[in-house]
């Protein structure tokens, strides 16, 4: 009697085995992607003493050079839930000589949320328009050389730049202007963001403020 190999008794068990292997591969890939996403988002980081580290941001001084604290604010509820900060400082500083204000936010939290929300995304959703290319700027202090992103926005209907924004991240060392901070191999990140008006001065208010502010921040962000 002829025997058809395709109808042999071993064939059903082979199909079953292949299905199990395929299922195990899919499950493994799903679990792996979940772990990777959780790591990138900072969900797997330990929360031990992180709030105590975040509390150090309360040590930011009220006066930095010619800049004096005008208003101490806090993150709004939506931003706080989104960023999951362990600590934050949101302030307005005034320069009497320049007769101008800047807004500064220093945040400390899980790498994922802290890394992904940039001014190019956030400001564009509130009626402003990016007026030029984002550029990398350097600010040197006595003890460090920091790099920050700088970008300007226009306020409709005027196309001219009106809002100047500087921002960067830190893992406790120098501030860095990174292209992909979410891939930084650290569980937590600091972020600084300074916003102020665009003026006719050769040195914009944000840059002037950062030169006075960063030396103080170096003693706190470690």
Asked if 33 and 87 sit in the same domain, the reply is: no
Asked if 15 and 121 sit in the same domain, the reply is: no
Residues shown for the chain? 222
CA atoms within 13 A on the CB side of 39: 10
Asked if 57 and 122 sit in the same domain, the reply is: yes
Q: What is the mean pLDDT of residues 165-170?
A: 97
Asked if 56 and 22 sit in the same domain, the reply is: no
pLDDT value at residue 2: 47
Look at 8-17, 36-45, 72-81, 185-194 and tell me which has the smallest mean pLDDT.
36-45
Asked if 105 and 213 sit in the same domain, the reply is: yes
pLDDT value at residue 13: 55
Q: Which residue has the tokens 């914009």?
A: 204
pLDDT-based confidence at residue 219 (cuts at 50, 70, 90): very high
Q: Is the dihedral of CA 139, 219, 107, 186 positive or negative?
A: positive
Asked if 85 and 123 sit in the same domain, the reply is: yes
Asked if 95 and 20 sit in the same domain, the reply is: no
- How distant is the alpha carbon of residue 113 from its chain centre? 7
Q: What is the mean pLDDT of residues 193-215?
A: 96
pLDDT-based confidence at residue 79 (cuts at 50, 70, 90): confident
Asked if 19 and 128 sit in the same domain, the reply is: no
The percentage of residues in the chain with a pLDDT greater than 90, rounded to a whole number, is: 63
Q: What is the mean pLDDT of residues 79-104?
A: 94
Query: What CATH number does the domain containing 54 carry?
Result: 3.40.1000
Q: Measured between alpha carbons, how far is 77 from 69 in angstroms, rounded to an integer?
A: 23
Asked if 23 and 104 sit in the same domain, the reply is: no
Q: Is the pLDDT of residue 176 over 80?
A: yes
Contact, 19 vs 180, CB < 8 A? no
For the chain, first and last CA: distance in Å? 82
Asked if 116 and 201 sit in the same domain, the reply is: yes
Q: What is the mean pLDDT of residues 141-163?
A: 94
Measured in degrees and rounded to the nearest 5, phi and psi for residue 176 equal -130, 140
pLDDT-based confidence at residue 150 (cuts at 50, 70, 90): very high
Tokens coding 191:
């972020």
The structure's pTM equals 0.78
pLDDT value at residue 78: 83
pLDDT value at residue 15: 53
Look at 118-127, 138-147, 187-196 and tell me which has the smallest mean pLDDT.
118-127
Asked if 32 and 106 sit in the same domain, the reply is: no
H or E segment to which residue 113 belongs: helix 111-116
Q: What is the mean pLDDT of residues 207-213?
A: 98
Q: What is the mean pLDDT of residues 63-70?
A: 98
Q: How many domains does the chain have?
A: 2
* Domain ranges, residue 86: 50-218
Asked if 141 and 188 sit in the same domain, the reply is: yes
Tell me 176's DSSP state. Answer: B
């Amino acid at each position: 009697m002829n025997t058809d190999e395709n109808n042999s008794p071993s064939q059903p068990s082979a199909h079953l085995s292949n299905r199990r292997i395929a299922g195990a591969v899919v499950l493994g890939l799903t679990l792996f992607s979940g772990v990777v996403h959780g790591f990138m988002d900072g969900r797997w980081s330990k929360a031990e003493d992180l709030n105590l580290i975040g509390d150090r941001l309360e040590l930011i001084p009220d006066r930095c050079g010619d800049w004096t604290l005008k208003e101490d604010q806090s993150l709004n509820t939506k931003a706080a839930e989104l960023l999951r900060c362990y600590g934050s400082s949101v302030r307005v500083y005034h320069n009497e000589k320049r007769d101008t204000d800047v807004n500064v936010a220093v945040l400390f939290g899980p790498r994922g949320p802290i890394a992904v929300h940039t001014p190019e995304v956030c400001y564009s959703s509130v009626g402003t328009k990016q007026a030029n290319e984002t550029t990398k700027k350097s600010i040197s202090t006595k003890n460090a050389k920091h790099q920050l992103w700088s970008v300007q926005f226009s306020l409709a209907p005027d196309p001219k730049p009106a809002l100047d924004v500087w921002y960067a991240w830190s893992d406790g060392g120098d501030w860095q202007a990174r292209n992909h901070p979410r891939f930084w191999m650290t569980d937590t990140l600091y972020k600084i963001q300074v916003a102020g008006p665009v003026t006719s001065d050769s040195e914009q208010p944000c840059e002037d403020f950062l030169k006075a502010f960063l030396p103080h921040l170096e003693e706190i962000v470690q």
